[in-house]
Amino acid sequence: MKKVIETKDLCKTFGEGELAVKALDQVNFHVEEGEFTALVGPSGSGKTTLLNMIGGLDEITSGQVTLDGQDISLLKKSQMTKFRQDHIGFVFQAYNLIPVLTAYENAEFIMLLQGIPAAERKERVYKLLHEVGLEGKEKNKPGELSGGQQQRVAVVRALAAKPAYILADEPTANLDSKSTADLLDMMYRLNQEENMTFIFATHDQRVMDRAKRIVYLEDGKIIKDEVR
């Protein structure tokens, strides 16, 4: 299988001097195309930081992150923004929806930036909103939706652009059991049918049960890597 994500001796330190905290400590990690992987560990273990580093959201203290052969530390800020837009779908625990846009407009936003035709955008967004149980909520703005509904819009936004990689930070944190099952079913189907590569940072046993690989972190280090 092809390695599409790789970190080498990756370190991330927040703060300086006596206040410095090493969030990632010499992490060597790779993901092959089409994986469905969960990063797990206690709060502060480095899960979210590793996800953010892979997505180019945080600057690297030392080491290397390579996506599809591209060392992302060498990219200028504008180049990294374009790379994320074209290749990476993010699902944040805080949703990060645009308050003045409707659920439909939020979901199509990345595709709009990519220049995808309106008819194709509409077809993808309506199909995915229906699959996550948000049919009829297309015109609602984030403030008119529950936390769980906002999370599902955020997931649809990430998936609609058909990125190569989905980086999801606690994507099921605000969802009930049925919504979680529906969401994971949809993600797994896209993983199988579109060969999308998924990496989750999660505490949720329901996500871990679906994952084909679980990577355990503690104190910024990988302590166990389990393929199922």
* pLDDT at residue number 60: 93
For the chain, the C-alpha Rg in angstroms (whole number) is 17
Give the position of tokens 């199988």: 192
Query: Sheet holding 62-67: strands in order across?
Result: 21-32, 3-14, 62-67, 70-71
Residue 166 DSSP SS3: strand
* pLDDT at residue number 2: 86
Instruction: At 143, list the tokens.
Output: 């403030």
* pLDDT at residue number 97: 93
Query: In the predicted model, is pLDDT for residue 144 greater than 90?
Result: yes
* pLDDT at residue number 17: 82
Report strand pairing: 3-14 vs 62-67: antiparallel
Residue 21 CB neighbours (<10 A): 10
Query: In the predicted model, is pLDDT for residue 200 greater than 90?
Result: yes
Name the residue range of residue 84's domain.
3-227
* pLDDT at residue number 102: 96
User: How many residues appear in the chain?
Assistant: 228
What is the number of structural domains in the chain? 1
Look over the chain and give the mean of its residue pLDDT values, rounded to a whole number. 92
Distance CA 63, CA 8 (A): 6
* pLDDT at residue number 19: 86
pLDDT band per the 50, 70, 90 thresholds, residue 138: very high
pLDDT band per the 50, 70, 90 thresholds, residue 151: confident
Q: By C-alpha distance, which of 169, 173, 174, 216 is closest to 45?
A: 216
Instruction: At 205, list the tokens.
Output: 């046993």
DSSP for 96-156? ---TTS-HHHHHHHHHHHHT--HHHHHHHHHHHHHHTT-TT-TT--GGGS-HHHHHHHHHH
CATH assignment of the domain containing 63:
3.40.50.300
Instruction: At 14, list the tokens.
Output: 């927040």
What tens digit of pLDDT does each residue of 55-110 get? 999 889 999 999 988 999 889 989 998 899 889 999 887 788 999 999 999 999 99
Most confident stretch, 1-5, 71-75, 81-85, 199-203 = 199-203
pLDDT band per the 50, 70, 90 thresholds, residue 133: confident
Distance CA 92, CA 153 (A): 11
Query: Sheet holding 197-201: strands in order across?
Result: 88-91, 165-169, 197-201, 36-40, 213-218, 221-227
Instruction: Count the alpha carbons within 13 Å of 173 in the hemisphere toward its beta carbon.
Output: 17
What tens digit of pLDDT does each residue of 16-52 get? 888 889 999 999 999 999 999 999 999 999 999 999 9
pLDDT band per the 50, 70, 90 thresholds, residue 219: very high
